Every structure is written in structure tokens, then in C-alpha cells.
């Protein structure tokens, strides 16, 4: 499994291309902007996109979603608690593709020769999810290196956010953490040093 990070858009959202190196099939996580950058990477590496996963419905994570879906023909997955939200602050006019498949806690999507487990992590948004595959954990805006997602936008809830952080911290073993913005980390590092994770473990 090869993971390519493409920071896209004004907010430098991390779009991830997760590739099965044997088959050259891939999955795109959070195509937030710059569809040409995302599509050019796949084309130059001769990758076939088999699915697009969205961690949550904020505009900076879905800005290139329709363009990438149209070009690749890949199915789009997103939790319907976020697809149903119609708020200008969340989407800022970004339209979703016509067909979106809802996924939720405990779902496993077998795709591109890999198994992606969905973990519902509300708090930053009602429909936020994290995605676990092998030793990688894509955390969207739920968990950052040393921090967590903001909860002051519509649909945000700090108690839910802390419960979601505890849920991640209680996963068995360690994982590489690939967040929606900024640098990657490990789950063990966040368990040990992230203030919000430590508070979540103590109080929730």
C-alpha cells in the first residue's frame, strides 16, 4: 500500500491517494480542491480510481469531489448525516455529485484489493468519519497532530468530539495518523501527548 499526500486548495487540505501497488488501483480520500492536481497524479502513475471516500462535508474537503468523480466514474462514499446538511458555512456553494453512497460506523468497504473500515467520529461535523486501512488511519478533521477539529461551526459539538477522540484512542495497536490538514502523526503519539486525547481518555 502506497499513500500519497496532496495538499490542495487555500486551506491546504490533505487529499490522499491510497494505492495498491500490485494492481495500480487506488482510492481517493478527501478531494478538497485542485482536481487537475489529483487527476494528473493518477494519470501520470497509471492509476485506476476505484472509489472516493469523504471524511466529512466541509467545502475544503469536497471542492474537487464532483470533478474527480465525473472524470474517474468512481463511486463516492460519505456519511449521510453530512450529505443532508445544507448550510452555506459548511459547503459554501459546493455541490455534491448526483449519487453518493452513505457509509457509517462499522462498515467495511472492500476496494482496490484493500479493506477500508469506517469509524463514525462526530463532533467536528455530525457525519464525520475516520477510515482505517491496514496500519493507516485517515482522521479528516477529527484528530490532528497535537490537536483536534474545531467545533464552533454549525453541527459542531465538543462533547461528541471528545467521545470520538476516545474511540480512536481505544483502538488496539498503533496506526499512522493521516489528518485532514498539516503533518501526519501516530496514534500512540497522540494518546501520549495530545491534550484533547488525554482529556477524552480521562473524562469520557
Q: What is the pLDDT of residue 98?
A: 85
Q: What is the pLDDT of residue 153?
A: 86
Q: What is the pLDDT of residue 145?
A: 98
CB 143 within 8 A of CB 132: no
Domain boundaries, the chain: 2-203
The residue among 64, 180, 158, 167 whose CA lies nearest residue 118 is 167
- Strand-pairing partners, residue 92, are none
CB 39 within 8 A of CB 26: no
So what CATH class is 2-203?
alpha beta
Sign of the dihedral through C-alpha 145, 148, 150, 155: positive
Hey, what's the cell of 32? 478538497
State how far the Cα of 108 lies from the Cα of 111, in Å rounded to an integer.
9
DSSP assignments along 82-99, one per residue: HHT---HHHHTTPPPPS-
Residue showing cell 453530512: 82
Q: What is the pLDDT of residue 32?
A: 96
Strands (E), 9-72: 13-20, 25-29, 48-53
Q: What is the pLDDT of residue 123?
A: 96
State how far the Cα of 73 lies from the Cα of 156, in Å rounded to an integer.
32
Residues of the chain predicted below pLDDT 70: 85-89
Hey, what's the cell of 159? 462533547
Q: What is the pLDDT of residue 10?
A: 93
State how far the Cα of 119 lies from the Cα of 26, in Å rounded to an integer.
20
Question: What is the distance, to the nearest Å, from the Cα of residue 64 to the centroid of all Cα atoms in its chain?
Answer: 14
DSSP assignments along 136-196, one per residue: EEEEETTEETTEE----STT--HHHHHHHHHHHHTSSS--EEEESBS--EEHHHHHHH-HH
Q: What is the pLDDT of residue 54?
A: 98
Q: What is the pLDDT of residue 89?
A: 59
The pTM score is 0.96
Amino acid at each position: 500500500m502506497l499513500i500519497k499526500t496532496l495538499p490542495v486548495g487555500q486551506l491546504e487540505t490533505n487529499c490522499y491517494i491510497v494505492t495498491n501497488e500490485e494492481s495500480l488501483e487506488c482510492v481517493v480520500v478527501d478531494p478538497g480542491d485542485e482536481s487537475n492536481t489529483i487527476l494528473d497524479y493518477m494519470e501520470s502513475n497509471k492509476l485506476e480510481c476505484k472509489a472516493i471516500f469523504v471524511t466529512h462535508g466541509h467545502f475544503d474537503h469536497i471542492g474537487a469531489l464532483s470533478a474527480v468523480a465525473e472524470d474517474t466514474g468512481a463511486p463516492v462514499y460519505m456519511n449521510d448525516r453530512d450529505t443532508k446538511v445544507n448550510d452555506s458555512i459548511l459547503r459554501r456553494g459546493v455541490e455534491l455529485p448526483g449519487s453518493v453512497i452513505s457509509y457509517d460506523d462499522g462498515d467495511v468497504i472492500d476496494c482496490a484489493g484493500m479493506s477500508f473500515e469506517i469509524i463514525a467520529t462526530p463532533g467536528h461535523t455530525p457525519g464525520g468519519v475516520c477510515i482505517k486501512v491496514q496500519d493507516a488511519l485517515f482522521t479528516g478533521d477529527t484528530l490532528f497532530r497535537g490537536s483536534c477539529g474545531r467545533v464552533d461551526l454549525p453541527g459542531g459539538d465538543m462533547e461528541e468530539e471528545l467521545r470520538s477522540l476516545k474511540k480512536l484512542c481505544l483502538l488496539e495497536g498503533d496506526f499512522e495518523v493521516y489528518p485532514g490538514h498539516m503533518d501526519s502523526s501516530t496514534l500512540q503519539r497522540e494518546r501520549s501527548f495530545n491534550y484533547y486525547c488525554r482529556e477524552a481518555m480521562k473524562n469520557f
